Structure 1
């Protein structure tokens, strides 16, 4: 595909997304209907679409319209490129620019939804603008080294054999940032043999901050794909790991991932008994991951956020019932919004005086990678 044809494809996909179709679904439908597109074309079109969604408001302002065409024109203007060079109407390129297209300005335009902006500013304070700017960029790819099977050097060596370059983070040696050929990961030996797992730096730091010791009983209460379960698994010997999710279908990949990682995890739809550590990575707005799933920020509504807040509080209450005296409850979200984070922890502690907060941290792209929150609470 020519660059102009890729832009035409992105315009088509963006128009579907703006009409309400989820981004991944729109991309998949285009890909299935476009057998002529090679893997490089599909990756390039995906990048165009996601970059436009990360900067939807500012690109629309530059391009002159909140349409797929306007977003693509605005993206070229924002990058300092002349859209007329690609909007030629020749071949499969989009039609030439009409008068006034690409002449807009984006000064003062925020790429945070207008109704979220006050919450964003109140939650992040002086960092709000810098975090919003960081959210406009593509997120890096991070790997977690599985200490059950490899050292960081072993993992980097295996990655290098597959032509994948990665570097460790000084704060957490088992966290590797991929710097070249990330798209080869799923086919490489390091991933296939369980030496590494895909996991962002911020949740890795959160899991590393959990009190994990030999022989402990650990319950991952909102396990999903099991990333937190597997991150804890390699931290100590003799752990009993139990994974639970209100929707068991979300855990369908966990047995395979655990086998690949060389650890044992028991899936339990109705966990009983008490645990030394209960992890509750609750459903949330995902505001900390909006640069990875940028269409999610435009689909979030005030009503859906209120529903999430009620669900989070209910999950906290249920998860707390599984914490033994002296044990810990780790409340986590991939959000940067205070109502989902500190406000939830504070309300829980007020209603449950037998718990106390022992640590709290909010990571952002400015000091880690994704936005991520941890409140670690101990049962007295």
Structure 2
């Protein structure tokens, strides 16, 4: 596909998304209907679509319209590219620009001042992040890096880096957490690479890796991964400590590949509901359902689909999960509450309300990680049951 044909495809897909379709189904539908597109073309079109969604409002301002065509025109203007060369109307390229399109659009400085967040959410974002609000909103407009976690049961960081290099993948360690590797090239090769298939590395963003490193459970402790999903945090803890880990999720299908991943990593996880007797667990990890506002670089359409009503529903569910965990942790045990959100309503405010109604808990540590000091936006609060020793 020519550059113009790729832009035309992105316009078509973006119009479907703007009409209400989610990004992934829209991309899949286009790929299935476009058998002529090779893997490189599909990747390039996907990148165009996601780049446009990350900067939807500012690109629409530059392009003069909130439409697929307006977003692509705005992107070309932001990059200083030749719009006429793309909007040529030749072959499968989009039709030439109209005179109205040539004169439409805001100045770059005006467009760049937009936060690229929903209007209703911007005041909450500002209240949560203060002076960093605009810089962090703009950080969400960049593509997120791919991070890997080295499994010490299988390899050292140096061995993993060498094996990845042999597989055509370049990675460098985080200076503060050497088992965290940032992929700098070849990220699409990771799934098929020998070190990944052998359990030497797992995909996991730097921020949750840092959060897991704060927990440091003692060998032999009973751990409940309450909202386990794919089980990445269970595997991260088991990679460095021998534990008895139970993984639970309200939607068990999310854990379907966890046994295979655990076997590849050389560890064992029990998939089960929490123990009915309660107060058995030394540590409960509650990575709760949330807005995902910290991951919007990876899922940019999600920020435009979030509503005030959905945020309120999520906050109510988070409070319910915290109260459930309070009945399952043993006296002296800990709850690690986590979100991939940057919003106070889901983070500090949620914990403050929990401690107010559950005064046997204290909060010795709270951290908010952002793209400015880690990778994804991520919040962790460690809550200790005050009765007994931890």
Alignment of 1:214-225 (within 5 A): 214-225=219-230
Task: Decide whether the 8 Å contact of 2:4 with 2:94 is kept in 1.
Answer: yes
Task: Decide whether the 8 Å contact of 1:244 with 1:271 is kept in 2.
Answer: no
By how many angstroms is 1:85 displaced?
Answer: 1.2
- Aligned equivalents of 1:200, 1:339: Cα separation in 2: 23
- Aligned equivalents of 1:319, 1:25: Cα separation in 2: 35
Q: Counterpart in 2 of 1:372?
A: 378
By how many angstroms is 1:270 displaced?
Answer: 4.3
Q: Counterpart in 1 of 2:29?
A: 29
Task: Decide whether the 8 Å contact of 1:248 with 1:269 is kept in 2.
Answer: no
Q: 1:315 aligned to 2:321? A: yes
Residue by residue, what CA displacement relative to the aligned partner does 1:191-242 show, whole Å, maximum 9, x if unpaired?
11111111100010000011311111110000001111111111212x1010
Q: Counterpart in 1 of 2:145?
A: 140
Alignment of 1:8-47 (within 5 A): 8-47=8-47
Q: Counterpart in 1 of 2:346?
A: 340
Residue by residue, what CA displacement relative to the aligned partner does 1:297-321 show, whole Å, maximum 9, x if unpaired?
0000000000001000001111121
- Aligned equivalents of 1:18, 1:49: Cα separation in 2: 11
Residue by residue, what CA displacement relative to the aligned partner does 1:90-119 show, whole Å, maximum 9, x if unpaired?
000000001132541151322011100000
Point out where structure 2 has 5 or more consecutive residues left out of the alignment: none
- Aligned equivalents of 2:240, 2:20: Cα separation in 1: 43
Task: Decide whether the 8 Å contact of 1:230 with 1:258 is kept in 2.
Answer: yes
Q: Counterpart in 2 of 1:124?
A: 129
- 4+ long deviations beyond 2 Å: 269-273
Q: Counterpart in 2 of 1:295?
A: 301
Alignment of 1:61-210 (within 5 A): 61-101=61-101, 103-105=104-106, 106=108, 107=110, 108-210=113-215
- Aligned equivalents of 2:275, 2:4: Cα separation in 1: 55
Q: Counterpart in 1 of 2:272?
A: 268
Task: Decide whether the 8 Å contact of 1:240 with 1:265 is kept in 2.
Answer: yes
Q: Counterpart in 2 of 1:258?
A: 262
Q: 1:283 aligned to 2:289? A: yes
Q: 1:234 aligned to 2:239? A: yes
TM-score normalised according to structure 1 size: 0.98
By how many angstroms is 1:80 displaced?
Answer: 1.2
